[in-house]
Amino acid sequence: MLGIFASIIDGVLVGLVYGLAAMGLTLIWGVMDVINLTHGAMLVAGMLVLYLLTAALGLSPYATLVPALIGGFIVGLLLYWIAIHRLVGRPPLMSLLSTFSVNLVLIGIGTAMLGTAPFNVPVSVPGISMGRYTFPGPHILAAVLAAVIAFLLYLFLHYTRLGKAIRAVANNREAAELVAIPTTRVLAISVGIGVSLAAVSGVLIGTLFPFTVLSGDSYQLKGFIVTVLGGLGNPVGALMGGIALGLLEGVVAPFVPVSWTLVIEFSLFVVVLIAFPGGVFAPRRGAL
């Protein structure tokens, strides 16, 4: 009994981080109908920031969240101007292809320079014991940080001028323009925030699991699963979707070999996509 309980808690902890990882993806989608296929590469960029800064400068792993946040924002602005700006308002397939090609470039550079060997960042945070089970400290800390960041994003979107502008653009870009919201700047900033969220969750994932330059793909796919569970364009739904995915992984893990979880997840992804194209937790669009 305690075993199931423990795996549920662990699932929720990891799920919160997955939710944060999907939040950037879903924010960009909600604001401008662009599915950012560089998301996985940006997650890996966050992981590499974590690895390089802890290994080279001896920073504490959690201190690297700040450079990841700022760096991610700048990279996001660049991404917007290079690959997205010309394609806003065009069929979504075009921006899908353009972000896909930027992803190829980033992954190509990453594998050529760093290879595909796994990196591991040692993090020592005391865990919490409960009977025979110990919940690892990094998992707890990462989940708490993910929840805090998600909460801050919610406050930002609902209670600041810029956040409200972002929601206005998501709802109706032309109307936003009519009331003098600088939509281009808002779009660029949204991509900045989306990528910065990706980098930050990359750091958090890096404190939990070893990773390679190619890990981004599988987390990006998890991000899609979370997003379709939570409803595209809905950051709060993403957190729910993340917890759902984490729970699924946690509960399924003791019963099937690890290598089958991927098969289950992708089948779930396709089935959910077909059955609930609008997302399970968010029946309506524009709920941002």
Partner 1 sequence: MLARRPFFWIITAVLAVFAILPVLGNNVELRESLIIAALYITLASNLNLMLGYAGYINFGSIVFFGLGGYVCVWLVSAYAWPLYAAIPAAGICVSALALLFGLGILRLRGAFFALATIGVNEGVQAFVENFSPWGGSSGIYLSPIIFKPFGGPAQGLWVIYFSMVAVMGLSLYLSYAIKVSKFGLGLLAIGQNEDAAAILGVPTPLYKALVYSVSAFLPAIVGGLYFLKSSFIQPADAFDLTLSTEVIVIAMLGGQGTVTGVALGAYLYEELRGFLLTSETFSHFQLVVAGVLLLVIVLFFPSGMMGFVYRQFPRTQKVLE
Binding-residue pattern over the window 216 to 235 for partner 1, x denoting contact by CB under 8 A: -xx--x--x---x-------
- Rounded distance, CA 90 to CA 162, Å? 25
CB of 6 to partner 1, least distance (A): 26
Give yes or no for residue 124 binding partner 1 (CB under 8 A). no
Phi, psi angles (nearest 5°) of residue 162: -65, -40
Selection from 288, 273, 193 nearest residue 226 by Cα: 273
The binder of partner 1 chosen from 28, 31, 32, 35 (CB under 8 A): 35
CB 245 within 8 A of CB 265: yes
User: Which of the residues 239 through 258 are near partner 1 (CB under 8 A)?
Assistant: 257
Closer of 37 and 243 to partner 1 (Cβ): 37
The binder of partner 1 chosen from 5, 267, 283, 284 (CB under 8 A): 267
Phi, psi angles (nearest 5°) of residue 154: -60, -45
Run of H or E residues at 59: none
Selection from 80, 70, 35, 19 nearest residue 230 by Cα: 19
**Distances from the Cα of 90 to the Cα of 22, 84, 230, angstroms:** 24, 10, 25
CB of 244 to partner 1, least distance (A): 16
Adjacent-strand bridge partners of 211: 119
Closer of 40 and 138 to partner 1 (Cβ): 40
The binder of partner 1 chosen from 55, 63, 105, 144 (CB under 8 A): 105
Closer of 102 and 166 to partner 1 (Cβ): 102
CB 210 within 8 A of CB 219: no
Contacting range for partner 1; rule: CB under 8 A; set: 132-140, 168-176, 244-252, 263-271: 263-271
CB 37 within 8 A of CB 101: no
Closer of 55 and 105 to partner 1 (Cβ): 105
Tell me how crowded residue 94 is: count the other CB atoms within 10 A of its CB.
15
Contacting range for partner 1; rule: CB under 8 A; set: 53-61, 97-105, 126-134, 180-188: 97-105
CB 36 within 8 A of CB 24: yes
The binder of partner 1 chosen from 102, 141, 166, 181 (CB under 8 A): 102
CB of 83 to partner 1, least distance (A): 7
Q: Which residues bind partner 1 (CB under 8 A)?
A: 33, 35, 82-83, 86-87, 91-94, 96-98, 100-105, 107-109, 111-112, 217-218, 221, 224, 228, 257, 259-260, 262-263, 266-267, 269-270, 273-274, 277
